Amino acid sequence: MTDQNHLRPLIAANWKMHGDMSWIEKLYEFEDIFPAAERVNIDILICPPAPLIFPMMERCGGKDIWLGAQNCHADENGAHTGDLSAEMLESVGADYVIVGHSERRALGETDADVYAKAKACARAELIPIICVGESLAQREAGQALSVVEAQITGSVPEIADYVIAYEPVWAIGTGKVPTLKDIADMHAAIRAQLGPDIRILYGGSVKPANADGILSVPHVNGALIGGAGLQMESLATIARFAVERK
């Protein structure tokens, strides 16, 4: 028995820059394929492009499918053209915010930026999903564990509620995944660093074909899913594995 038994699995779809108003129908599609009775022991989260959060919130008012944003600004308001604060996202129905995704870190976001954004989420009573993960060069140099440990030290503020997503940069959108042993070693190390109460997701090319194995790894409490999360069938299949492996 592992300590993950007291943590509800979280299956999160990051839609990235995909979708328009017609995609709201995907919520109904998902609810049909994976009805409320199956969602009792799992948290399902969809992170659509920000303009879709409010209309999706209106459609799933019952709140048994959570909604999230993909980024936020650290400030509550101000002269930051084009940015969105955690408070704004909360006011339109977000429950979670992905912060420090590698696609944003690649644009120059630092651990300190991610730390400030995660703190802003807590200020707005949102749960940040704080993303960390090594590059291929860092893994090949044997530095994966130390890189991720340092990212966590720099990116995770003292807040009550947050989720970690371990996403090796080289596994995102590539179809490549680490071995289950490497995932197990990383998740055990993060667990040792952060304690028993934090959900740790794996992300990077999670698909129906590999989700069963990945979600069976100790200290994997769910998944952050890009490409496969655009298809409701795939998302439901992955979610079912998470429920079975709980």
Question: Which residue of 120, 220, 224, 239 would you call a contact of ligand PGA, by CB under 6 A?
Answer: 224
Question: Which residue of 106, 173, 196, 197 would you call a contact of ligand PGA, by CB under 6 A?
Answer: 173
Q: Using the 8-state DSSP alphabet, how is residue 72 labeled? A: -
Taking the least distance from each CB to ligand PGA, the nearer of 53 and 87 is 53
How many alpha carbons fall within 13 Å on the CB side of residue 216?
7
- Residues 181-220, mask of contacts with ligand PGA (x by CB under 6 A): ----------------------xxxx--------------
Give dist(CA 215, CA 244) in Å, integer.
9
Taking the least distance from each CB to ligand PGA, the nearer of 87 and 128 is 128
Nearest to 51 by CA among 73, 20, 90, 23: 20
- Residues 14-33, mask of contacts with ligand PGA (x by CB under 6 A): x-------------------
Give dist(CA 9, CA 220) in Å, integer.
9
Dmax over CA atoms of the chain, in Å, equals 51
Should residue 225 be labelled a site residue for ligand PGA when binding is judged by CB under 6 A?
A: yes
> What positions carry a catalytic annotation?
101, 167
User: What is the nearest approach in angstroms of ligand PGA to the Cβ of residue 192?
Assistant: 24
Torsion angle (degrees, nearest 10) of CA 113, 118, 122, 125: 110
**Applying CB under 6 A, which residues contact ligand PGA?**
14, 167, 172-173, 203-206, 224-228
